[in-house]
Structure formats: structure tokens, C-alpha cells
Amino acid sequence: MNIKNRTVFFIVALIAVIGFFVWRFIRPMNIYVVSEAFERPIDTSIIPAPLRTLRATECAACHSDFYDEWRTTIHSQAWTDPYFQADWKFEDKQQTCKNCHIPLDRQQEYKVLGFRDEEKWDPILAPNPAFDPKLQHEGVTCAVCHLREGKIIGVYGNTQAPHPVKKIDDPNQICVRCHVVEGNRWDTFFRFPPCGTVAEIKATRNTRASKQGTGLLSDTPGNNAGTAAIEKPQSGAPSMNKAPTGASGEITVPDTKRLGCVQCHMPLIKRPLVAGGKPRLARRHLWRGGHDPEMVKRGLEVNFKAAPDDSSDKRSFILTITNVGAAHYLPTGTPDRHLTVTLRLLGKGGNILKEETHTLKRTIMWRPFIVDLWDTRLPRWQPRNYRLDISDVQNTAAVEAVVRYYLVAEERLKRIGYKSEEPLAYDVFQKRITLKAN
């Protein structure tokens, strides 16, 4: 190559590299892989008699307790939730979002005939004559979880139900369709894909040796479902993750029985399934999570007290926070969820002398490539300590610790231009210790 050719070669190569990165910065993000499990809506061509529609109100005619609970849940708002709507519009109203937030074909205005692209983000659509706008507003409604191939799926299979029933072995299979999303793609390097709740459970499971049942997960309605065993904490230092991982680090889900989603999120209750029916072991339909402070508090154990080496001239305190109640990380779900731990030194007049805040969240680089940078959330049973040293004991009157849970990150709200009517953060722990005057 002579000098001129070489210069041309370098300029072309440089333009190609710049072009590549520009594309990486402006292309649609498409953060997860559209898997076969949810690439299309759920087929409802057969509505089993005696049902006429698939609306929750129709199930409510017989199963009113279930309906009353479901109505209070985030599942029933998976479409109407204003935050979801704002986010969905910001993400160019992608069709694929509907396959989890309103997955029944009758909940969607369009039918999916096929896809224009290999990644299945660009579906070929046609108007859907069976579209039911009322059903759409029910989000993750009864039939989403319970209707498959014209039958109602349930764990009993031997009831006198007026509708056809199909028995399923493991109720956790129902959750997995939507609560696991993979990121296995050449340009994504997630250890836990978004909504990676399942992968998180798998990753921490192998760090536990003993697997005795505690009763919490070994309950047995419908004479099955009881195979899930809760893993007890192992004494000694927590080990690193040893779970089998896929090419980009994500973990796949062959064994749903031990996930325990239903056992923790749908506690057992003895009640009839229909008014006047025989009382049975059934499950609450409440699915509490980040929107419920009591649920989050139940997942956490927090202690704030004097450190073992605390002394009168150099006082030290330690906050210890442990995820004791969630099999996945805490927080889990969308990467925006996070916790903060704030430690403060207070002066004689209650003024803040010093304050430090630690954030427990996952930090992801989205562009040019999707990379899990670091993750400071709490894996199960691995205590985390935060230390507060006081050098100026004379002027310090008290120490204070506050742990706060956030449903969303402030930056994200600004970016999508969303203002919430509801509070999006709340305290889950607060303690003030007054120092005795020397």
C-alpha cells in the first residue's frame, strides 16, 4: 500500500468505527431478549363454558374473595399504572411490552402475525376483531394466569368446578413466564438481566449447604406444590456465586419447583374457593412487593448499635442490614428499585454535623454496550455492615440511621418526564441513639 491508499484506508476505518458507536448511542435500547415464552400473546380462542367473557368480574361471580384481593394488586394495574404508561410511551410503545403487561390476545388491539426482524421487536400486526378494551384495563387478570388451551389451570384438578380444569404440578411455572427475562445477546453482559428475580434466586441458592424445610415453603395445597425447600443460612463466610451460567452470565430456569415465588408471595389461607364451598387450603392473591412497606420490612433485618470496639473517647457505631426474607436480591425487579442507608451525627441542637449515604442498587452501563458494572443490593443472608466513627465526641449529641426504599430513580423520572401522585420512596428503618454526656 502506498501512503495515499493507506490514508484512505484509515479514514474509511475511522468513519466506520465512529458510525458504529453513533449507532450504538442512538439505536433503540431493546434491553432484553424477546424469548419464545412471551414473543406472542396468550391464545384465548376457546373460552370454556359456562364463561362468556374472560373478565375478572365474571370469575368474581363465583370466586369473590379472590377477586377482592386481586383488585388491590399491582397485577391488576399492570396496564393502567400511570408510571407504566409513561415509561411505555417513552419506549416508543413497543408491542412486546404488552405480552407481559396485557398478555391475553383479546387484551390487545392487534394480532401478531409474524416478525419483520430476527430479534422479534418488530411484529407484523393486523387488527384484532376480538379486542376487549375492558379486559385490557384489567392488566394481569385472572385468565392471564389461569387460562391455557381452553381450560382453567389450577393445582387441585379434582374439584367439582363448572369449567374445565387442568391440573398443574407446580404453581411457580405461572410466575416464570413474566418474571424472568434473559439478556443473552452478543452486546449484553448482564449477570442478572432486568427483572432477573429468578436468576438471583439461583445464584444465591448454591451458597447454602443445608436445605431443611422450615414450614414456610413446605406447605402443600392441592397435594402438590410442597416440594420447594427453603434453604437455611449456613454458618461461616458467604461464598461466591457458583450457579451455572449461560454465555453472557445469565442463569436459565429448568427447575421451577424450588423457586418459592408462590410460597412467599401467595401465603396459604384456609377458605372455600366459592361462596358456600368446602374450605380448602388456598392462597392469598395479593403479591405484595416494593409497593408495600410492610412486605419490604419483612424482608429486612436491620440493627444499629455500638460497635464492638466502641470506647468512651472514640465512639463507633455499626449498622448491619441483612436480607432475611427474600430468596432473591433485595431490592429486586426493575433496576431502578434501590435502598439507601444514611448515617448521621447530630449536634446538641439536633443539627446535622456529618452525614453519609450509601446506595444499595445495581449500576448498569446501557450504552454503547449493556454491561452490569456493579451491584450493591443484598443477596439473601449476607449481612452488610456500615460503620460510623465519631472523632469529636464532645460535640456530638446523637447518632441516627435511616434506611429508605425507593421504587424508582429520580433521574429516570426526569428522563421520561413523569410526576407521581403517590410517594415513590419510604423509610423502612429509623433509629436515633442519644450519646450520654461524659
CB nearer ligand HEC, residue 267 or residue 350: 267
Binding-residue total with ligand HEC (CB under 6 A): 97
Among 135, 174, 319, 388, indicate the residue that binds ligand HEC (CB under 6 A).
174
Q: Are 131 and 53 in contact (CB under 8 A)?
A: no
Q: Are 231 and 211 in contact (CB under 8 A)?
A: yes
Among 319, 330, 345, 428, indicate the residue that binds ligand HEC (CB under 6 A).
330
CB nearer ligand HEC, residue 83 or residue 304: 83
CB nearer ligand HEC, residue 281 or residue 393: 281
- Contacting ligand HEC within 290-329 (CB under 6 A): 290-292, 295-296, 298-299, 325-328
**Least Å distance between CB 231 and ligand HEC?**
9
> Contact between 213 and ligand HEC (CB under 6 A)?
no
Among 123, 183, 289, 379, indicate the residue that binds ligand HEC (CB under 6 A).
289
CB nearer ligand HEC, residue 176 or residue 398: 176
**Least Å distance between CB 243 and ligand HEC?**
14
**Least Å distance between CB 110 and ligand HEC?**
15
Among 135, 178, 251, 341, indicate the residue that binds ligand HEC (CB under 6 A).
178
> Contact between 108 and ligand HEC (CB under 6 A)?
no
For 199, half-sphere exposure in the C-beta direction (CA atoms, 13 angstrom radius) is 23
> Contact between 112 and ligand HEC (CB under 6 A)?
no
> Contact between 121 and ligand HEC (CB under 6 A)?
no
Among 135, 360, 370, 407, indicate the residue that binds ligand HEC (CB under 6 A).
407
A 10 A CB-CB count for 283 gives 21
- Contacting ligand HEC within 43-62 (CB under 6 A): 50-51, 54, 56, 58-59, 61-62
> Contact between 428 and ligand HEC (CB under 6 A)?
no
Q: How far apart are CA 37 and CA 176, in angstroms?
A: 9
Vertex 263, ends 260 and 266: CA angle to 5°? 130
A 10 A CB-CB count for 275 gives 10
Q: Are 261 and 202 in contact (CB under 8 A)?
A: no
> Contact between 40 and ligand HEC (CB under 6 A)?
no
> Contact between 165 and ligand HEC (CB under 6 A)?
yes
> Contact between 198 and ligand HEC (CB under 6 A)?
yes
Q: Are 372 and 364 in contact (CB under 8 A)?
A: yes
- Applying CB under 6 A, the span of 263-271, 348-356, 365-373, 382-390 interacting with ligand HEC comes to 263-271
Q: Are 208 and 232 in contact (CB under 8 A)?
A: yes
**Least Å distance between CB 176 and ligand HEC?**
7
Q: Measuring CA to CA, how many Å separate 147 from each of 63, 171, 174, 294, 365?
A: 15, 13, 11, 31, 39
> Contact between 135 and ligand HEC (CB under 6 A)?
no
> Contact between 339 and ligand HEC (CB under 6 A)?
no
Residue 250 dihedral angles phi and psi, to the nearest 5°: -80, 165
Q: How far apart are CA 368 and CA 366, in angstroms?
A: 6
Pick from 224, 200, 198: nearest CA to 283: 224
Which cell numbers in the block locate residue 323?
Answer: 436480607
> Contact between 264 and ligand HEC (CB under 6 A)?
yes
Q: How far apart are CA 435 and CA 353, in angstroms?
A: 14
Q: How far apart are CA 317 and CA 98, in angstroms?
A: 48
